Amino acid sequence: MSGYFSTSSMAHQALSHRAVALTYGQRALTIGTLHPRLFQGTAQSTTHRGTPYRRLALTARLFEAVFLGDREEADRALAFTAKRHQPVHGTIEEDAGPHHPAGSPYSAADPELMWWTAGFTLDSVEHQYDTLVRRLTPGERQRLFEDFVTWAELFGMPRHGAPEDYPAFRAGFDAFLTSDRAHLTDEGRQVGRYVSGYDVPHPAPPPLRPLFSTVNLVVVGSLPSVVRDRFEMRWSVREEAAYQAVTLSSRLAHQRVPLLARTPLLRGRSEEFYKVVARGERAVLARGHASMPGVSDREMGPLAG
């Protein structure tokens, strides 16, 4: 049974590349904390406050199911998400800049917020494909944009919630990052530093440490400098050189070694990796530690489950 996205679609092609699949989520979630209603609404409503990496891994698996799975698998993921989103609505509890005072509403069914979720994801998939595989053409960027509009519509967003086309999306997204509409709460700054891998409270097991260190380097290095500045992330010349070396090696592997580029090492679904992340968090909790100290163990109001 075919899926909602054919194997020739840009979304399927991009997310089938493991380098993209293993890095776009951390990047999107880090930048997404700059949208206070989206971030705070999620933080206040989540049933996974104590297990944030499990939630991130679950979200990645659901996204992958819709983009890469057949229709039966995708429909299960969509139904699961719709059920989880039904109770997600309310008002944010903290002031978050001039455009997002305490009491501002949020809802998982808000078309604007639904598109921002898709937009942060689209931006990161596009950027990581450009950086780690090859640069997209203008036509491919438009096709990728259209795939993400379809994706958001599958989750319930009406078409009018999205920009008219890719240039309109890109102009609006880039303008947001440098505007006062982008705002970090203290919790948002902590979460972004953890999710990006800039702060690592619990090192991965030794056999996996090089892989996780490389992923974190790629994620932090891929952030726009204006975003790193907002998160107070220092970025040295040495780190930039390492980042450029890793990304160049990835592009060369995809473009100059065709047989390697088609192997499971670089292509395919990443579900098993996401499960590794969730298992790693369970091991941390079993040792009596908080997953994200100061965040996952933070006391919340009655909305948090």
Alpha helical stretches, state H, 111-266: 111-132, 138-154, 166-177, 186-195, 209-222, 225-230, 237-256, 258-261
Give domain status of residue 303, yes or no: no
Integer Cα distance of 274 and 261 in angstroms: 21
Give domain status of residue 160, yes or no: yes
Give domain status of residue 2, yes or no: no
> What integer pLDDT is reported at residue 302 of this predicted model?
40
Higher pLDDT, 222 or 46: 222
Integer Cα distance of 252 and 247 in angstroms: 9
Beta-ladder partners of 17: 267
Q: How many domains does the chain have?
A: 1
The pTM of this model reads 0.93
Residue 189 has pLDDT above 90, yes or no: yes
Confidence of residue 263 (pLDDT cuts 50, 70, 90): low
Integer Cα distance of 80 and 217 in angstroms: 33
CB 267 within 8 A of CB 17: yes
Confidence of residue 81 (pLDDT cuts 50, 70, 90): very high
Residue 267 has pLDDT above 90, yes or no: no
Give domain status of residue 125, yes or no: yes
90-94, 120-124, 278-282, 285-289: range with highest mean pLDDT: 120-124
Q: What's the distance, CA 230 to chain centroid?
A: 18
| Domain extent for 92 | 10-197+206-286
> What integer pLDDT is reported at residue 246 of this predicted model?
97
Maximum alpha-carbon separation in the chain: 55
Give domain status of residue 174, yes or no: yes
CB 45 within 8 A of CB 304: yes
Give domain status of residue 301, yes or no: no
Give domain status of residue 132, yes or no: yes
Give domain status of residue 38, yes or no: yes
Q: Report helix, strand or coil for 285.
A: helix
Mean pLDDT, rounded, for 49-55: 84
> What integer pLDDT is reported at residue 304 of this predicted model?
36
